[in-house]
Amino acid sequence: MSVPSLKVWILAARPKTLWAAIAPVIIGTAMALSDWAEHWPSALAALFGAVLIQIGTNFANDYLDYKKGSDTGERLGPLRVTQAGLVPPATMKKATALIFTLAFLIGLYLVWRGGWPIVIIGLLSITFGILYTGGPFPLGYNGLGEIFVVIFFGPVAVAGTYYVQALSINSEVVLAGFAPGLYSVALLTVNNLRDLESDRRTGKKTLPVRFGRTFARLEYLLSLLFAGIIPLILVIISGRHVYALFTLLVIPAAWPTIRTVFSQTGGEPLNRALAATGKLLLLFSLIFSIGWLL
């Protein structure tokens, strides 16, 4: 059997979703830099570790969704490589283990740097990455995916990135983490909205399946709006970093994507909305980080 090509593995990694892992590291590093506490080896290790955990989670989802039968030929989203027969299930299972092992090895440096708090963060991140679609009570199948996403792609990721550099933590960093976490919820919402009908047929009880399209669309909009308010709250609390308020410009920039989410049900328009939401997350993180440093 031939080895899957690099293009297939890139497809399986779902690069359009990786901004959810990258953005919190950018924000956490900018906040450490603002406090004169940056530590670039730790920042790079946090970045690579976060991306690997995200890829590992995507690989695990690809494999476990196939095993559960929730990925079918009727799915509207990007191609799932295991279901499509491009990667054998056993190979995807081994690739998942390899990626998580690499993330663990990178984490050893961060543990040396930051101690037991990093052990807890790393193990929980990997464990919940698997439990998202695996285990007896998969989070993504029971409408709990948003809780996992907002926590682990939000405060945990931003505060963890800051901590491995500054070796301390503060409330501003934790609060700032909710912004990328909420953007990641918006990403998940588009994904689940697109897959609503196929998820319903396969018994995957995401929030859109439980509460319908209108709920999902409002969830998307409110996630973006509440994320946009976070910098305003931070400026009011700290009395500093007013240039971070330029992140408010992301909200009108999001209007075309919001309109797509509220008006479209087809796979291709919502796939474009998913990619656009990832770009909005990147844009927010860059504007916030630059504004925080000015």
Give residue 70's pLDDT band: very low, low, confident or very high (50, 70, 90): low
Average pLDDT score, the chain: 90
CA 13 to chain centroid: 13
Give a three-class secondary structure readout of 189-258. Answer: HHHHHHCHHHHHHHCCCCHHHHHCHHHHHHHHHHHHHHHHHHHHHHHHHHCCCHHHHHHHHHHHHCHHHH
What CATH number is given to the structural domain containing 157? 1.10.600
- Look up the domain containing 57 and give its range: 6-293
Please answer whether residues 206 and 192 qualify as being in contact, where contact means their C-beta atoms are separated by less than 8 angstroms.
yes
Closest CA to 177 of 165, 167, 185, 189: 185
Provide mean pLDDT across the span 207-215. Answer: 93
pLDDT digits (tens, 9 = 90+) for 88-99: 889 999 999 999
Report pLDDT for 73.
Answer: 54
φ, ψ at 4 (rounded to 5°): -55, 145
What's the token pair of residue 6?
Answer: 């690099």
Provide mean pLDDT across the span 178-186. Answer: 96
pLDDT digits (tens, 9 = 90+) for 252-270: 999 999 999 999 988 899 9
Provide mean pLDDT across the span 88-115. Answer: 92
If one compares 144 and 46, the residue with the highest pLDDT of the two is 46
In the predicted structure, residue 74 carries a pLDDT above the cut 60: no
Please answer whether residues 190 and 262 qualify as being in contact, where contact means their C-beta atoms are separated by less than 8 angstroms.
no
Please answer whether residues 12 and 271 qualify as being in contact, where contact means their C-beta atoms are separated by less than 8 angstroms.
no
Is 64 among the domain residues?
yes
Number of domains in the chain: 1
If one compares 2 and 210, the residue with the highest pLDDT of the two is 210
* Least reliable range by pLDDT among 71-80, 115-124, 265-274: 71-80
Please answer whether residues 128 and 54 qualify as being in contact, where contact means their C-beta atoms are separated by less than 8 angstroms.
no
Percent above pLDDT 70 for the chain: 95
Please answer whether residues 274 and 190 qualify as being in contact, where contact means their C-beta atoms are separated by less than 8 angstroms.
yes
pLDDT digits (tens, 9 = 90+) for 22-42: 999 999 999 999 999 999 999
Give residue 230's pLDDT band: very low, low, confident or very high (50, 70, 90): very high
In one-letter notation, the amino acid at residue 3 is V
In the predicted structure, residue 276 carries a pLDDT above the cut 80: yes
Provide mean pLDDT across the span 185-189. Answer: 95
Among 7-16, 73-82, 146-155, 161-170, the range with the most confident prediction by mean pLDDT is: 161-170
Is 1 among the domain residues?
no
